[in-house]
Structure 1
């Protein structure tokens, strides 16, 4: 109708060029919904259409979603309604969006969250998931867990809830202004060696001509690598010319072996090596297969490496620490030597400096006490 009116009032010098005058345009009548309810229904229709378009534009693992994935979403929409149980929705959400997209370790955490939902809210419907119901869920979980663990639980559920809101299954976001509670965290005493104790323990190592647990202990002590990162090293990861070590994968020793991705994106890094370690390793690695794990020979157990390290600690009468304690020792020595938290964080492959600060708070506090003494001495010389 509007097009017909336009054709009637349009003018021009040729049939290919037409001009619509303002006065003529102003005279055209445009039909509008009269009632406010009708306008709201039309607006709601386009809101739902926009949500549907957004849903189908989702990206999966950085790539355009395959037709198979779209069929999964469509199936999920058909099977789940606002009357469905939230537990059922969450289970389908995990299968649809998480399976094959995350590491097995992370997937295990989502499965654990799923089991807790079955315990805490087995009969809760999507339509009943409001702020009160969600806060009660978080409170129930917090009775058994520390605050940080409860925060992780909240984040794993929130993704599914926001999708349910987008799909119109939950009226509004119930996670808004949630209060995260939790049990008082247990005091965790970190075990690490000081510089003199570490030197004595390293002197007790038997560094032969073949790769061994003793060599792995030396490497972790000097690089701060995680146990799985050290196991995943191959000779190709060492750049002797630039004195660097590339960490880009780990060894899945808990699940039968094989290379798997690092703990997080920040864990992919280059670690600078001292010249003495470079000289030692260049001779050790020269005849080894360039793309095979250096320290893996059959089934690997963390307890075996811990037993070897414990024996060396006892031999020189220093506190017994674990392989992971060597990583703490490495970081603590760097901090006491004056290395910045930012540099230590990058070297360890932490996701953020906050992780480093929280993990080594005891060291930082000791350094702050020393800084106070230094500041007082400096100020006393100003007179």
Structure 2
């Protein structure tokens, strides 16, 4: 086997060889393969592997998969990735690639992607300020490993890179957005002062149930009346809207399936809203069991409901926030009232308690002062 030593412009050395695999039993043509590796030992190992693969396949080449650039490779990877995840996860992954990966790597040829190149990519992504930079690196690692399995590259060059430890200013880092008690009161007072139209009752019920349960907005919009037991004062989460499609899917994780209790005031509000909805739908000739059906579609969508929320916040004299702020506010109110993190984990549908602790471990000023009071009581009891 003739081995050629090649030194690239950047000083990196690779070894390349063209080997003869045999005669294809189907086409009758001689089959050769070009192999490249970082060491001669690795080159010989890959040559043996390629020969064994050719023999195991019945001494024929079934299909040659080609991908010259990272963009072409990622397209092949997405074909295998899509059936393994939920549509919303696939959509989010696509967004990550389009925004953070393909602009940097898309047009780069696979033969140019070596360890120094990957280290430079890792450094730049880490310094970009994108807080999920490790996920970006992990996706690139998976795609390149897929290339190895397709024998498009000899090894995964990003495996030998070092991920920089990014130090962030914890004081400047934005905490989970939640409303203060004063802001909650201001919002509730505003909602109670609205004219008693069905649209206002729809919005008020949605906002108050989000505050009372901590549901994700798409979990709330997917609720049907069969999910709410007004006699037992419970709400069961067993589905969610898929992104902004208006279609229903399964919750994001097994722990997201849950049944939580609600207070008597919220139960009364839901009873009144249910009766008003039935009357309104009868008037317009619409039928639906969805709690937040719009009267035109079975389920409301987040973009439309966010637009209405923006208008209400402006009228209430409050700054803009997204629906997730209701979830954080629910958690904040319960923590300050003394709920345990384990119970909060269940109500929010987190897969593990570390997620709950990471997001909500910061105490409010009132709770922090309360901690001092407990300490003083403990000392006095000695």
Q: How would you bin the TM-score normalised by the shorter chain? A: 0.5 to 0.7
Aligned residue number for residue 328 of structure 2: 328
CA RMSD in angstroms comes to 3.9
Q: Are residues 271 and 192 of structure 1, via their aligned partners in 2, closer, same or farther at CA, if it must alter by over 3 Å?
A: same
Provide the C-alpha distance between the structure 2 equivalents of 1:120 and 1:48, rounded to a whole number of angstroms. 36
Range with greater deviation from structure 2 (181-190 or 293-302): 181-190
Q: 1:243 aligns with which of 209, 233, 245?
A: 233
Provide the C-alpha distance between the structure 1 equivalents of 2:114 and 2:209, rounded to a whole number of angstroms. 52
Q: Are residues 310 and 259 of structure 1, via their aligned partners in 2, closer, same or farther at CA, if it must alter by over 3 Å?
A: farther
CA displacement at 1:328 relative to structure 2: 1.8
Q: Are positions 1:226 and 2:216 aligned together?
A: yes
Report if the CA contact (8 A) 1:213-1:295 is conserved.
Answer: no
Q: Are residues 119 and 343 of structure 1, via their aligned partners in 2, closer, same or farther at CA, if it must alter by over 3 Å?
A: same
Provide the C-alpha distance between the structure 1 equivalents of 2:265 and 2:51, rounded to a whole number of angstroms. 65
CA displacement at 1:340 relative to structure 2: 1.6
Aligned residue number for residue 26 of structure 2: none
Provide the C-alpha distance between the structure 2 equivalents of 1:158 and 1:93, rounded to a whole number of angstroms. 12
Q: Secondary structure at the match of 1:362?
A: coil
Structure 2, unmatched stretches of 5+, are 1-40, 279-286
* CA deviation vs aligned residue, 1:312-371 (integer Å, no higher than 9, x gap): x44xxx777554322221110111111122221221223433333333343278746643
Q: What TM-score comes out, normalization by structure 1 length?
A: 0.66
Counting matched residue pairs gives 312
Range with greater deviation from structure 2 (137-146 or 120-129): 120-129
* CA deviation vs aligned residue, 1:175-210 (integer Å, no higher than 9, x gap): 356314558576326553344653454354349595
Aligned residue number for residue 169 of structure 1: 152
Structure 1, unmatched stretches of 5+, are 1-36, 54-73
Aligned residue number for residue 192 of structure 1: 178
Provide the C-alpha distance between the structure 1 equivalents of 2:174 and 2:127, rounded to a whole number of angstroms. 20
Aligned residue number for residue 155 of structure 1: 138
Range with greater deviation from structure 2 (350-359 or 189-198): 189-198
Q: 2:69 aligns with which of 61, 85, 88?
A: 85
Provide the C-alpha distance between the structure 2 equivalents of 1:247 and 1:154, rounded to a whole number of angstroms. 33
Provide the C-alpha distance between the structure 2 equivalents of 1:163 and 1:240, rounded to a whole number of angstroms. 51
Q: What TM-score comes out, normalization by structure 2 length?
A: 0.66
Provide the C-alpha distance between the structure 2 equivalents of 1:112 and 1:328, rounded to a whole number of angstroms. 25
* CA deviation vs aligned residue, 1:9-43 (integer Å, no higher than 9, x gap): xxxxxxxxxxxxxxxxxxxxxxxxxxxx9xx8699
User: What are the equivalent positions in structure 2 for 1:248-327 lying under 5 Å apart?
Assistant: 248-251=238-241, 254-255=244-245, 257-285=246-274, 288=278, 291-298=289-296, 300-311=304-315, 313-314=316-317, 322-327=322-327
